[in-house]
Amino acid sequence: MKPIRVVAYDCDGVLFDSLQANIAYYNELLARFGKPPMGEDAVNIVHHETVARSVQFLFQGDPRMNEALQVAKSLDYKPFLCMMTMEPHLVEVLQGLRTRVKIAIATNRTSTIRPLLAETGLDKYFDLVVSALDVTNPKPHPEALRMVAGHFNVEPRQVLFLGDSLSDQQAAADAGVLFAAYKNPHLTADFHITDHRQVLDILEKELEGSP
């Protein structure tokens, strides 16, 4: 087994608890079109999807779908950033990883990911950010993770990807990368973790097992 050279992160639910921010964002969009707030099923879908797919779901059968897509693209996400909570021990772990591996993001967020990283001061920790704007096929397609491996010229199994959704699980499996399920015991994964500090444990154990 070759050593892990890259640790890649999903954003929502992994770097940040962003559920309330996403709920507020999409409910604001719905309100602008006189539609009621999302129910639980809709929340579960839009929390892990791209903006385009989320709007298509929320406005399915509504002739204003294209208009809603345009409004969503122009809707400022900054007022919702304050509702996002960084996951515990994240900065500590990113600091520990910097001297050992390359660090990347593979997210279905679009134009909001880079302002979010800048606003929270996390941008300096990541060597590569792949958003849904950077790929033809967002997750669950493996394109983003293949891009990560290709960018750093490593084999897929030298990439450890942290995700929390079925979309992340499928993308990791199809890309052939190692998958760590974060706070979701129901996913099929190489590792299950509940604390970011466990990423350092994974790297230590992997190093101990190297020939």
Q: How many CB atoms lie within 10 A of CB 63?
A: 7
Distance (Å) of CA 181 to CA 84, 168, 204? 20, 9, 18
- Stretch 90-97: mean pLDDT: 97
Same domain, 123 and 147: yes
- pLDDT for 175 beyond 70: yes
**The model's pTM:** 0.90
Residues 48 and 143 in one domain: no
Band (pLDDT 50/70/90 cuts) for residue 120 is very high
Poorest-confidence range of 35-44, 45-54, 86-95, 103-112? Answer: 45-54
Q: Is residue 167 part of a domain?
A: yes
In a domain, 1, yes or no: no
**Do 93 and 184 fall into the same domain?**
yes
Domain total of the chain: 2
Domain boundary among 37, 62, 81: 81
Select from 147, 121, 120 the least CA-distant residue to 133.
147
The DSSP call for residue 131 is: -
Q: Are residues 100 and 125 in the same domain?
A: yes
Asked if the model's pLDDT at residue 181 lies above 90, the reply is yes
Alpha helices, DSSP H only, in the chain? 19-32, 40-46, 51-58, 65-74, 78-81, 90-97, 113-120, 143-151, 166-175, 197-208
Quote the domain boundaries for residue 168.
6-17+84-208
Res 48: pLDDT: 82
Which range among 2-6, 113-117, 143-147, 202-206 shows the weakest confidence by mean pLDDT? 202-206
How far is the C-alpha of 158 from the C-alpha of 150, rounded, in Å? Answer: 11
194 and 131 in a common domain = yes
| 106 and 186 co-located in one domain | yes
